[in-house]
């Protein structure tokens, strides 16, 4: 294989890219998990709040308005958190796809490098066989030359 082959460098660079993507992927998964947990907490609190609203006696219109205003804010928070979860889910999915692509790229480079090594090995073996054949032919000629004298 030629000394100037860029494949080992490309493989190293691809490994570095993969490592960086893996770190980002891990962070994205952690953020997704945290956001999903926060969404579940908000939804549980919303359910609990609605149950409490139904259990309490409505002593006045102002208390009912306060409950309703808080419920609207809670629903807004749940919707915003659900959007954040979806955003993190999409980011995690995109990074997973990017990780798959970089792994395929690395595998392609490695296969190409292996093929080049095999071709170089075959060329070396052919050259060695040729040298052995030439040496054997010289030995035969030299023994024939000695035998004719």
**CA-based radius of gyration for the chain:** 36
pTM passes above 0.75 = no
Sketch out the chain's domains with CATH numbers: 7-113 (1.10.287.1700)
Q: Which residues contact 39 (CB under 8 A, 6 or more apart)?
A: 78, 81, 82, 84, 85
Query: Model confidence over 39-53: pLDDT tens digits?
Result: 999 999 999 988 887
Q: Are 22 and 121 in contact (CB under 8 A)?
A: no
Query: Model confidence over 62-115: pLDDT tens digits?
Result: 888 888 899 999 999 999 999 999 999 999 999 999 999 999 999 999 999 999
Query: Model confidence over 10-22: pLDDT tens digits?
Result: 999 999 999 999 9
């Amino acid at each position: 294989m030629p000394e100037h082959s860029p494949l080992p460098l490309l493989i190293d660079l691809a490994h570095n890219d993969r490592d960086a993507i893996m770190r980002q992927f891990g962070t994205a998964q952690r953020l997704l998990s945290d956001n999903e947990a926060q969404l579940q907490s908000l939804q549980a609190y919303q359910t609990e709040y609605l149950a409490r609203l139904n259990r309490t006696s409505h002593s006045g219109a102002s208390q009912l308005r306060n409950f309703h205003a808080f419920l609207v804010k809670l629903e807004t928070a749940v919707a915003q958190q659900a959007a954040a979860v979806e955003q993190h889910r999409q980011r995690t999915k995109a990074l997973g796809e990017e990780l798959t692509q970089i792994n395929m790229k690395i595998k392609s480079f490695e296969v190409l490098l292996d093929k080049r090594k095999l071709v170089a090995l075959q060329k070396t073996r052919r050259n060695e066989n040729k040298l052995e054949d030439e040496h054997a032919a010289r030995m035969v000629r030299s023994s024939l030359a000695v035998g004719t004298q």
